[in-house]
Amino acid sequence: GDETKSRLNVATLDTKMSNLQVYLNSCIKGLVGSLVIFCCYAALMAQVVGTDDGFGDFAVRFCKYWIILYQIVPISLYVCFEIVKLFLGAQINLDKQMVDPDTGLNAIARTADLVEELGQVQHVFSDKTGTITQNEMRFARCCIDGQDLGEFRPPSASANGESTKTVAHSETEGVMAARRILKDKSNKLCEETQRF
């Protein structure tokens, strides 16, 4: 029935459209609406001034005015809009500044709407999958029973010119403080540090 888990999990999804596409659609709707109003007005005035009577004559005149004035609705704007999006997507694919230094691969624009959405980003949400951090999370500081043990991260590689791998093996302030506490069994922080 409708109350089963599989039926309740089925959600109706809205079509994803860019803001620019929404604005373009609303402009086109406004132009079509104004075209209908103007054609009705022109057909009605031609009916009042003209010699023929009847609804059939009104419909024919409406269609005539529609055919004469339909150019105010820019259908080619959609075509130009899509061509520009494809061109800008190709620019992203060929951008030398968007090359991954590890793999040497260029960025790939897999959707045409990507280009126009880039300038409209308001919020960035991030998960902890390592996309941004490249899974290189480092333990920074530790405070045990109110005492700060100090910095656990190695000094930055750029500060002393060494590579990150060689710096990572050096003893930091936090590591030395933790070892000192663990060696002294009489220290009240020894038990807490072992739990840590």
| pLDDT tens-digit map of 13-31 | 666 677 778 888 899 999 9
Does 192 have pLDDT greater than 50? yes
Check: CB of residue 85 under 8 Å from CB of residue 78: no
> Which position has the higher pLDDT, 175 or 160?
175
| pLDDT tens-digit map of 125-169 | 666 565 555 666 677 787 787 788 888 877 764 344 444 444 444
By 3-state DSSP, what share of the chain in percent is helix, strand and coil, each rounded to 5? Answer: 55, 5, 40
Token representation of residue 16 = 């994803």
Burial class (CB in 10 A: 0-12, 13-18, 19+), 31: middle
Query: For position 168, what pLDDT does the model report?
Result: 45
Percent of the chain whose pLDDT exceeds 70: 74
Active site residues: 127
The pLDDT mean for the chain works out to 77
Give how far Cα 125 sits from Cα of 13, 98, 131, 155, Å. 21, 21, 12, 30
